[in-house]
Amino acid sequence: MNPAQAGPQGPYDRLEMAAGPVTFEIDGRSVRDLNGNGQLDRYEDPRLPLEERVNDLLERMTLEEKAGLMFHPPIGIGPGGELDEPSMFGLGGTTQLVAERHLNHFNLYFTPDARTTAEWHNRLQRLAEATRLGIPVTISSDPRHSFDENPATSWAAGSFSQWPEPIGLGATRDEELVRRFGEIARQEYRAVGIHVALHPMADVATEPRWARILGTFGEDFEAVGRLTAAYIRGFQGEELGPASVACMTKHFPGGGPQADGEDPHFPYGKDQVYPGGRFEEHLRPFESAFAAGTAQIMPYYGRPIGTDLEPVGFAFNREVVTDMLRGRFGFDGVVCTDWGLVSDLPMPDGSVWEAKAWGVEELDTAERVARIIEAGCDQFGGENLPEVVVELVRSGRIEEARIDESARRLLRDKFRLGLFESPYVDPELAATLCGSDEFRAAGAEAQRRALVLIANDGVLPLSPGARIYVDGLSAEAAAAYGEVVAEAADADAAIVFRNAPYEPRLGTFIESVFHAGSLEFPDDERDRLLELADAVPTVLVVHLERPAVLTELVGACAAVVGSFGASPDAILDLVFGRFSPSGKLPFELPSSMEAAARQLPDVPCDSEAPLFPLGHGLSYGA
């Protein structure tokens, strides 16, 4: 039958007739015939039960199309919001990835403004709609609402509202605030076409040297669990639906206990250790995530050492993914590996980022892919190897029924997110909603609530109009609060902003953006701060992306403030008393580097004679 003459199945009213996709009205909603054949196939009919739609689509798919579902590489946005042709990531052009390699899950990295991002998203969905089955694309993202930017872990806010880092949300200990953040972030994500959040981190920051503490909610197991659940409910709602963003909670079974505080993005950080015997406690926040309905889970790169588990990376580990995650906890959602477990990745500076195949480094590409599938994972983060899955099935190594299990989970989330009914977004709405005054005001208040007044000899709050010397903070912003002077000797007080110390890693480009190693300021920087504090009452503001050692500085400075992602105005509002501090430390501050190094990596709050304990925080008048 000619598609232009074909009638839809069931009592539908045709709204549009064209050579391509057709739109029907069902129960007052517009539904697109993605196939463009003039009738709705069963998988396109939103009135049918979810599993029936999933099974119908799965039966129509080729092995190559099923394999394409299982890969989740990065994608770029071309100039002016055009498709990225060829890909900035060296993966072939977007058209090739979608139309020829059958990929339809992508991780979005760099973005322009909200309107342009939305326009690009619609072009991508039109490309997907023109494929044989019209399966819509799912777009994911790392966090996009804060201050720090690390291309391997998070992005600064840009067009979105700006909030404290997750560790700052932990400093508020406020579930309702965290849920409100999730609700706002969800709206901004969906407005530009982002459907999956590669977060939250349910890891507990029990090793103070770890570079990923910024993305956690802190060192308290109970608080991390509560805030993780609130975060998920903000993004997803009470259940996953067309207005939700699916959360891929990470890093199962808890990425905090890193040997020597090193991170398993790199070979020297591949080991997770449990000398305190606390493996089970690190699972507790994930139980809260399951109770909140997290749609997806990401295992971490690390391999467990000194446990009864096989010492291989968690995504290669059947005991962890199938026996524990799926069996013990009954999780039947999508399990996606962390990024780059199979293939080495060339970097912009010419270096090569080694595949994180910890414990199975000797395996070739096909063997690594097979191990991950056999472990129970559904999807390969950062990879583009569908032909390997096809060959594993055709060679008899992997049963196609096993591929169907993963495909079914991945399709189920596309349906639940409403992508088959409404794959497109409104660029005009994206431009007005993302970073709206209301959303920015909510983020600005959260920045202030996350600030922690660690020490104060009475100098704070400063008097309006005080003569101030600023270092590391915008002099232009400070001029709205006091008289900015050029020399410290002329000031009533100095306000100094510093990032928490770390040891620069210069091995590769990507290592340089992970802040690890020592928690102490270098001697020359410490001495300069001490000299300033001796000359003028000094307010030291430290961005605590990790729990810095501040013992000598606390003793010398008139006041110390902990920041976790805050604008200059937010900091100055606290310093000048326009906002009374209420945040509490989400981790303890060790008294020395030696004490930090002697902590057990899997045990919280076990530093000897900490400078300040977990939960410490002053307020004005107390």
Of the candidates 305, 316, 317, the one whose C-alpha atom is nearest the C-alpha of residue 271 is 305
**443: helix, strand or coil:** helix
Please state, in angstroms and rounded to a whole number, the distance separating the CA atoms of residues 559 and 462.
11
Q: Measured between alpha carbons, how far apart are the two ends of the chain, in Å?
A: 80
Q: Please say whether the beta carbons of 532 and 558 come within 8 A.
A: no
DSSP for 117-138 reads HHHHHHHHHHHHHTSSS-PPPE
Report how far residue 317's alpha carbon sits from residue 315's, in angstroms, rounded to the nearest whole number: 5
User: What does the alpha-carbon distance between residue 27 and residue 48 come to, in Å, rounded to a whole number?
Assistant: 13
**CA-to-CA distance for 303 and 465, rounded, in angstroms?**
56
Angle at 398 between CA 392 and CA 399, to 5 degrees: 125
What percentage of the chain's residues is helix, strand, coil (to nearest 5)?
35, 15, 50
Contact between residue 153 and residue 138 where contact means Cβ atoms under 8 Å apart: no
What is the 3 state secondary structure string of 515-553? CECCCCCCHHHHHHHHHHHHHCCEEEEEECCCCCCCHHH
* Residue pair 248/295 in contact by the 8 Å Cβ criterion: yes
CA distance 385 to 253: 26
Query: Which residue from 71, 72, 108 is spatially nearest to 403, judged by alpha carbons?
Result: 71
**What is the SS3 assignment for 471?**
strand
417 contacts 195 by C-beta, under 8 angstroms? yes
Specify the DSSP class assigned to residue 239.
Answer: S
Q: CA Rg, the chain, in Å?
A: 26
In Å, what is the CA distance from 387 to each residue of 66, 130, 598?
11, 22, 48
Task: Supply φ then ψ for residue 303, to 5 degrees.
Answer: -115, 140
Q: How far is the C-alpha of 598 from the C-alpha of 602, rounded, in Å? A: 12
Catalytic site residue from 174, 263, 338, 602: 338
Local structure of residue 267 (DSSP, 8 states): G
| 41 a catalytic residue | no
Amino acid letter, 3: P
**CA pair distance 612, 607, nearest whole angstrom:** 10
Contact 233, 186 (CB under 8 A): no
Rounded CA separation 405/395 (Å): 19
Going from the C-alpha of 614 to that of each of 261, 442, 588, 610, the distances in angstroms are: 19, 26, 4, 9
Give the E-state strand segments of 411-535 in sequence order. Answer: 452-456, 467-471, 483-484, 493-499
d(CA 213, CA 197): 18
Q: Check: CB of residue 172 under 8 Å from CB of residue 449.
A: yes
Residue 580 identity (one-letter amino acid): S
The catalytic residues are 338
